[in-house]
Amino acid sequence: MSKESLLVQKIRHGTVIDHIPAGRALMVLRILGITGREGTRVALVMNVDSKKLGKKDIVKIEGRELTPDEVDVISAVAPTATINIVRDYEVVAKYKVKPPEVIRGRFKCRNPNCITNQHREPAKPAFVLVKKEPPTFSCWYCGRYHTLEELI
């Protein structure tokens, strides 16, 4: 039995996001909009040993299967992540994330003069991943660079 499985139980239905770079689990929760006030069970494991990564984080979410959109954004903060869909305690699907090239509609550009921030007919925001580590995004329209902390 792995050390991690001594820390947290297996889940029944839901998603396990495994192999998150150590220290990024809270960002993953923020991206998913999980505050802890939803009433569903969420387990966070941080800085456990991993053969592949040295240290890793794990997030387990009971009762929720992630959408492809959500997986895309997670892959920007956690390009090493594995998404495991669990049903009846069994892992029924497992996939590696693929870093997204463009993220649309989800975040706001910080540049007040950007056309995505205009009052009348604003353009729908879009960001291009320009650097993987640390993840850096540039606004599709004005080019302004944003770190992950600035976006989420």
Task: Tell me: does residue 103 bind Zn ion (CB under 5 A).
Answer: no
Task: Tell me: does residue 151 bind Zn ion (CB under 5 A).
Answer: no
Task: Tell me: does residue 15 bind ligand CTP (CB under 6 A).
Answer: no
Task: Tell me: does residue 11 bind ligand CTP (CB under 6 A).
Answer: yes
Taking the C-alpha atoms of residue 49 and residue 78, their distance in angstroms, rounded to an integer, is 16
Task: Tell me: does residue 16 bind Zn ion (CB under 5 A).
Answer: no
Q: What residues from 46 to 75 belong to the interface with ligand CTP (CB under 6 A)? A: 58, 60
Q: Which does 22 bind (CB under 5 to 8 A by kind): ligand CTP, Zn ion, none?
A: none
Name the token pair of 134: 């640390």
Q: What angle do CA 109, 34, 145 make, to 5 degrees?
A: 20
Task: Tell me: does residue 141 bind Zn ion (CB under 5 A).
Answer: yes
Q: What residues from 76 to 135 belong to the interface with ligand CTP (CB under 6 A)? A: 82, 84, 86, 89, 91, 94
Helix (H) or strand (E) holding 83: strand 82-87
Give me the numbers of helices (H) and strands (E) for the chain, helices first please.
4, 9
CA dihedral in degrees (68, 79, 19, 71; nearest 10)? -10
**Structural contact between residues 40 and 29, judged by C-beta atoms closer than 8 angstroms:** no
Binding site for ligand CTP (CB under 6 A): 5, 10-11, 16, 18, 58, 60, 82, 84, 86, 89, 91, 94
Residues near Zn ion, by CB under 5 A: 109, 111, 114, 139, 141-142, 144
